[in-house]
Every structure is written in C-alpha cells, then in structure tokens.
Chains A and B, each alone.
Chain A
C-alpha cells in the first residue's frame, strides 16, 4: 500500500513539475513562433540573472514568473470575492486533475526498480476503466470556471464574455464526444492505455481509419482549448475581453496557465486517440514486454508527437483569421455535428462488418472506403451547410429605412 502511494506521489510530482515547466516554456515558444512568423526575432534577452549571458532568451519564463509574483493582487470592490477567487482555482484544478488518466509513456521494463515486483505503468492512476469518461467530464468543468469568473466579476463585459465562452465550449463538446465514440468503438475500451495498445498492435492509427473523426476532434479541441481561430473567450482586438476582464495578477495567470494546460491536454488526446500515442512502426513494439530502449523510445516518440501537435496549434494561430461568433456556432451545429454522426455511423458499420468487408476489399480497400466516405460527407457539408452567414446591411432594407426617415422629415417640415 505504502509502496503504491509513494509510486503515485512520485508520478504526480513528475507530471506536475513537467506540466508547469512545459506551460511556462510553451509561452516562450508561442512568443518565438509568433515573432518568427512575423519576421521578428522574439524574446532573446533574458538569460542568467546578473550576468551578460543571454542563452537565447531561455530565462524569459523565469522573469515572467518573478514579475507575476511581485505583481499587485487587485480585487475590484464590486466582485463576489469568494467566487472570484474560486473560479480560477476550479478551472486550474480541473485542468490538472485530468492528467491522472493520461499516460505520459508506456511501461517501464520488469524489475526496473529493485523491490517493486509489478510493472510500473507511466500514468498517475493506472487501470481506471472509465478513464476517457473521467477526462472528458473533468475538461467540461472548464465551463464552470469560465461562467463563475464571468458571473463573480459583476461586470457586464465579463458576464457576456463568460456566457459567450460557455456557449462555445458546450457547443464543441458534442462533436468532440461523437468523434470519441468512434475511437471507443474501434478500440473497444475506455482506457487510453488500451486505445494506444490497440493502435500499436494493428499498426493502424485511428487517424487513418477514421479521417473524419480525426478532423472533427482536432477542430473541436481547438475550440475547447479556446485557441485561434476559436479564441472568442478573449478576442482582445475586437471584443472588450472575455470572462477574465476584471482579473489581474496571480488569478489571471492561473487562468492563463489553465488555458495552456488545455492546449497541452488537447495535444495529448489528439496524439493518444488518433496518432498512435507512443507507437512508431518498427521501433517501439506493441506489447508490454519492453526493453529499456523501447521504454525510453516510447516516451520520446510520444513527446515528439505532442510537441509537433503543439507547434501546429501555434502555427494555426497565425495562419487563420478568427471566426465570428455566429460562424463559430453554425460551424459547430450545422457542420461538425452532422459530420460527427456520419463518422459514428461509418465507424459502427466498419466495426460490425469488418470481417466480411476485409475478405472482399482487403485492409487497404476498407481504409479507402472510409476515406472516400469522409471526403463525400465533407463535400456535402461544404455544399449544404451555410458556413458563410451574411449579416451585412441589406440594400433594400436600407433604402426603405432611409425613405421612412425622409417621410418623417417631410411631415415635420
């Protein structure tokens, strides 16, 4: 019992330390990529304190952290103080608790640590059978943090921002759930370890088997993490600000860390559910009988994939303009949701009739059929769904209004 607790505590410490450092350094990476895309150099000044050594600006997160510690913690007088403090705490704790069920590697070889007779799995809470439900339930709690923050701020900008963000988060939860059901059907388990295991043993990543589900999941996780092009929770240029308009100092940074953690979680899930997790053909193997080389290779492969997805997240930020809110909603309800249903039905048929179809078409033919169906559904969505909603002033209405005005004027004269 004691040994298991110590093991879990070590894993939690590793995860928390790694995640917090990663969040800080991903802020730096984001600023770098932003600068490079705009032909600038980005942060390159802060190095080792009290020396002239610059270290490519790698000391920047440390300086940012110090700045935040010394920043004034201001609570506006008109807020609900308890909820105002509780909101960022709830969002951060939910964002961190998700990692209990997310594997950050595979397993260590047997007898890796003397005195431990079982195999050590690199996940904080191994063997939870409802892992995936737990993860998505907890990541939905972000909605509470957002709406509590907006409500407790007692300001109309924050309240509207909170409502806007929660509407967005809830809308994108549905297509995300639909695309996950496809994965669950295909791998037959709600445990992320098993999802990776099934992809590794068949060698066929879920992204190849169900491209539509992959795209829907990626788009929905962009929206869930409130990243561009869906960052309406804080569209700092066009809108006054979102649910955290009234926040400052440490509470604001807690919100921002939670936002970055959402992005990291989203990349973990994209990689684990659709891109094979730690699996790479010919290197990592597929069973739990691992050598030290394989165990380390699996961790490296997983992290490199996650890093790639995060860089993709950051590149998208500078590649695409932000959605308008009505476009965002129409994309969720009129495009993603029907596409998710199509994907679900297709995967269900795939699982149900796999054996006879495989005999007739072969594995490649089956995959090609899935891809063809996805493409067809996509084109149909492009043609049928009104993605482009026009809200410019209509000319005829405008003319009528002007005539009314003129008539009124004349009657006055």
Chain B
C-alpha cells in the first residue's frame, strides 16, 4: 500500500489547547478519575471463599467429561474425530471392537492430557455422538503430572459428578439425546 493511496486515511493528532499545554487542568482531571475509582466498589472475587459466577454453564469450557448413554455405557464410538481435531494433540484413544451389538467400535482407553489441553472446545465440536463435552468445572488441580492425565474412568466419573447440574448439551441444543 502506498502512502498516496486514496484509501489511506491520514489522521492528524489533535492540537493541544492552552489547558493541555499547561498540564494542570489535565492533571486534576486525571486525579479526579483515579480518586473516584479509589472508593468505587471492588470487583475482585476472593476465589476459595467465594465462587465466581459462571454465566451459562452450557457454553463454559472447563474440565472434560465422557458422557454415558441411558444404559450406562460410554457413548464414545472411537471414531478419532476429537483426537484429529485437537490442536494440542492431547487426546489419546485406543479403539476396540464393541462388545455391544448396536455399534462397531468403542474406546478401550480414552485419555486426555489436561496439562496440554488448551480448552478450545474443538473435541466437543467434532464429536458426532456428543460423547465428549466440556463442563463448567474450572478449578482443575492435581498433586502430580500423572494425576492430570485423565483416563476413561476419571472422565466418566466427571460425568457422574456433573450430570445433574449440567444436562447433556446435545439435548438442549436440539441434537440427539
């Protein structure tokens, strides 16, 4: 782009008036603003004592869970779409032939490395059967690196923990239950 291009809009800085050049009125203005904020209500949330409010838990991206179907089996069909979509490559799936007649495969092991996860929600978007979802649990902590690698059992237990508070998103968003 050339500088004499008609599309380039040259903006001149506004000239300072006498008040601006004399500094003091602007100083007093600035001080007035900061003093007002000194006594304004504070917005800090003191976290462990006070839980922050999450707007809509259905669109919050916290810890993952693996959903179960109505018979209590894992919903995942081991199609690898989530692992393929994951930009951080933190999902690791081992597929096995399904023991149940209504589907071909299921996941023998399903691990998510929460330390690598960037909580972008792509796995959730990619899943064709709404098996993997992100919950509104945000205080994810662990005592070791190993503890932060969530396996299938742990992800299913997150479902048990959150299923009452947060129904499966697919149902509320018009997908299959």
Contacts and interface: CB of A to CB of B under 8 A. Distances in A.
Contact of B13 (A37, A40, A392, A398): A392
Interface in A390-407: 390, 392, 395, 398-399, 402
Given A382-B18, A387-B16, A395 B3 contact: yes
Interface in B30-51: 30-31, 33-35, 37-44, 46
B30 A319 contact: yes
Contacts of A195: none
Interface residues of A, number: 27
Interface residues of B, number: 27
Interface in B19-36: 21-24, 27, 30-31, 33-35
Contacts of B44: 35, 39-41
Interface of A: 33, 35-41, 315-316, 318-320, 378-379, 381-383, 385, 387-388, 390, 392, 395, 398-399, 402
B100 interface: no
Contacts of B40: 39
Contacts of A390: 13
| Among B27, B34, B43, B44, residue most surrounded by chain A Cβ atoms (within 10 Å) | B34
B13 A39 contact: no
B4 interface: yes
A315 B35 contact: yes
Given A39-B42, A39-B43, A395 B31 contact: no
18 contacts: A33-B38, A36-B39, A38-B37, A41-B44, A315-B34, A316-B31, A319-B30, A319-B31, A378-B22, A379-B22, A381-B22, A383-B21, A387-B16, A387-B23, A388-B15, A388-B16, A399-B3, A402-B2
Nearest to B10: A395
Contacts of B27: 316, 319-320
Contacts of B38: 33, 36-37, 315
Contacts of B13: 390, 392
Given A388-B16, A402-B3, A40 B21 contact: no
B21 to A, nearest CB: 4
B137 to A, nearest CB: 24
A381 B21 CA distance: 8
Interface in B134-171: none
B30 A320 contact: yes
A35 B40 CA distance: 11
Given A315-B31, A319-B31, A319-B34, 11 more contacts: A33-B38, A35-B44, A39-B40, A39-B41, A39-B42, A315-B35, A316-B27, A381-B22, A382-B18, A382-B21, A402-B2
A270 B146 CA distance: 59
Given A315-B34, A319-B31, A392-B13, A40 B18 contact: no
Nearest to A375: B22
Contacts of B30: 319-320
B163 to A, nearest CB: 35
Contacts of B34: 37, 315, 318-319
